[in-house]
Amino acid sequence: MKELLPLFVAIPLGLAFLMPVFGRISRFLPDVLGNVATLALAVLSCMAINSPTIVYKVGGWEPVKGAVIGIYMVLDGLTVVMLLIVNIVGFLVCLYSVEYMRRYTDKARFYTLFLLMMTGMNGVIITGDLFNVFVFLEISAIASYALVAFGTESEELEAAFKYQVMGSVASGFILVALSVFYWLTGTLNMADGGKALVEQGQSVGALFACGLFLMGFALKGAIMPFHAWLPDAHPSAPAPISAMLSGVFIKATGIYVLCRVLFNVFGLSLTTSHVLMTLGALSMIAGVFLAIGQWDMKRLFAYHSISQMGYVVMGVGIGTPLGILGGLFHLMNHSTFKSLLFLNSGAVDYSTDNRDLQKMGGLNQRMPVTGATSLVASMSIAGIPPFNGFWSKLIIILAAVEAGHYSLAGLAVLGSIMTLASFLKVQKYAFFGRLSPVWEKVKEAPALMCVSMVLLAVLCVGMGLLLLPGVKEGLLDKAVAVLTDGRKYANVVLGK
């Protein structure tokens, strides 16, 4: 596995560079190559499942007198989880795009940007160096700005502009944060920096850097007071890109890095734990209340992303092993059901050219696959057993009770009920009820789109199995262990 680690970045990157050239040669080559590349990435990430912790020194630069001088790539339990969701969802979305993106011009450029976005996310996930995080974050962010504006209609451009301004402000904060971090510790390596922070002891400077990082990544991850860009940006993008942005992008570039920095570099303190829980609970409740009044299908889903990210942040913020397990598992689950929901909305949009819930109705009769898969996804997100969302929400609530935060548990239950209500609304208005005569001639979405939706629905049903004893130890427990013993990360990476 060790030799294969750089391929997570190298494969999509190399293809992305040549994609414009391939696009001139043949119209189908970009479709084929894009899917082959993402499939290869998905297979690679499955191969990583049982690997031990790997530290890959890029360029072969060994530490000099204990100080890290090069860039490290690190593969540990948390990385594997993130790689799995990014690359599997990425592959399924890419499969979906083959048909969906026919409505847009210049497909080769779409695949170029898509692969660059994948590169960026994979790069952020596998690196162990803070500046490298920033660079790859910018790659995926810039690709996503362009992808949001890909349709070049006025609303999309406007959303893309707003999104890019917010994203650039976040990047600015992250860059300042990491320069303060470099100033404080003299290093950019996360493990070495964490060690330096322990040696120095608690200081105001560390708190300041931590606050700047929190601001930057909360803005990237759309946690509540910093959420304003998300409900515009995510719905305006083409459906596969909405699925990527809501499904994996905000997690890989926001929540994941935030966890890495807060747990593994700075070490979770009581203050950060409280801040995370408060922000999480705020997003959870406010997101769902904002969502329930929406009539635009994609906008409603986008507000739910804020709310569901609130669950994740709250679960992780509780800080107990059970809470972290719940948070991470919910993160995995959310990536499947939310991307499925956006793909469903894309299928509806593809067939009916409409996103307004009030104008739909009875689509189940005409689009059985879309209807059925969206029912699965809705039940998952609302937390109905036995779908995956139920298990992760249950664990989060149990963890909150166990840690004595009864009010948080209550809020989580309330949020869950509201989520159920708003998805009953979606199902009722869009898929059940009387078929309006306007939609008599509507056809089901093309086969490839259905295939990818069905596969995601299977994941939604089956992912509860990850909690079974025997399976849980191999994947989730390893990821949880990385965060619970946050400070151990330095020793693992530096090899002591």
Partner 1 sequence: MLIILCGLIILMILGAFVALGAASLLSSAVLLGIIGFSLSAVFLILQAPDLAIVQIVVETLSLVIFIAVILKTTSEDATVRARARLPFLIIAGAFVVLFMLAVGWALGSMPPFGWPSLRMAGPYLTPEALPRTTGAANFVTAVVLDFRGYDTLGEATVLFTAVMGVLAVLRRIGRKH
Partner 2 sequence: MIPLLLAFFLFLIGLYGTAVKRNLIKIAIGLSIMEYATFLILALIGYREGGKPPIMVKGIQEKTLVDPLPQALVLTAIVIGLATTALLLSIAVRIYHKYGTFDVNEIRKLKG
Partner 3 sequence: MRGMTTIVKTVTRGMAGIIFLYGVYVVLHGHLTPGGGFGGGVAIGAAFVLHILANGSREAETDARKSRSALVESFGTFGFWVLAIVGLISGTVYFYNFVSKGTLFRLLSAGFLPLANIVIGAEVAGAIVVVFITLASLEIGGEK
Contact positions toward partner 3, by CB under 8 A? 3, 6-7, 10, 13-14, 17-18, 20-21, 56-60
How far is 167 from 145, CA to CA, in rounded Å? 9
Q: In whole angstroms, how close is the CB of 269 to partner 2 at the nearest point?
A: 24
- Of residues 125 through 154, those in contact with partner 1 by CB under 8 A are 131-132, 135-136, 138-139, 142-143, 145-147, 149-153
DSSP codes joined into one string, 142-175: HHHHHHHTTT--HHHHHHHHHHHHHHHHHHHHHH
Q: In whole angstroms, how close is the CB of 119 to partner 2 at the nearest point?
A: 15
- Of residues 54 through 93, those in contact with partner 2 by CB under 8 A are none
How far is 196 from 303, CA to CA, in rounded Å? 40
Backbone phi, psi, residue 272, to 5°: -65, -40
- Angstrom CA distances, 156 to 3, 97, 138, 238, stand at 41, 18, 20, 9
Q: In whole angstroms, how close is the CB of 58 to partner 1 at the nearest point?
A: 5
β partners of residue 244 = none
- The one-letter code for the residue type at 308 is Q
Q: In whole angstroms, how close is the CB of 105 to partner 3 at the nearest point?
A: 15
Neighbours of 155 (CB within 10 A): 12
Determine which residue in the list 71, 292, 372, 403 makes contact with partner 1, applying CB under 8 A: 71
21: partner contacted, choices partner 1, partner 3, partner 2, none (Cβ within 5-8 A by kind): partner 3
Single out the residue of 90, 85, 94, 92 nearest to residue 30, CA to CA: 94
Enumerate residues 6+ apart whose C-beta is below 8 A from 395. Answer: 315, 322, 325, 326, 329, 330
56: partner contacted, choices partner 1, partner 3, partner 2, none (Cβ within 5-8 A by kind): partner 3
Which residue number, 57 or 472, has a Cβ lying nearer to partner 3? 57
How far is 119 from 103, CA to CA, in rounded Å? 25
183 binds partner 1 (CB under 8 A): yes
The total number of residues written for the chain in this structure: 496
Enumerate residues 6+ apart whose C-beta is below 8 A from 472. Answer: 466
- Paired tokens of 57: 């020194």
The mark string for 169-208 relative to partner 2 (x by CB under 8 A, - otherwise) is x-xx--xx--xx-xx----x--------------------
Q: How many residues bind partner 1 (CB under 8 A)?
A: 62
- Assess contact for 436 and 421: CB atoms under 8 A: no
Determine which residue in the list 110, 111, 145, 311 makes contact with partner 2, applying CB under 8 A: 145
Residues that bind partner 2 (CB under 8 A): 131, 135, 138, 142, 145-146, 149, 152, 154-155, 157-162, 164-165, 168-169, 171-172, 175-176, 179-180, 182-183, 188, 228, 232, 236
Residues that bind partner 1 (CB under 8 A): 13, 16-17, 20, 58-59, 61, 64-65, 67-71, 102-106, 109-110, 112-113, 116, 119, 123, 131-132, 135-136, 138-139, 142-143, 145-147, 149-153, 157, 160, 180, 183-189, 192, 196, 203-209, 211
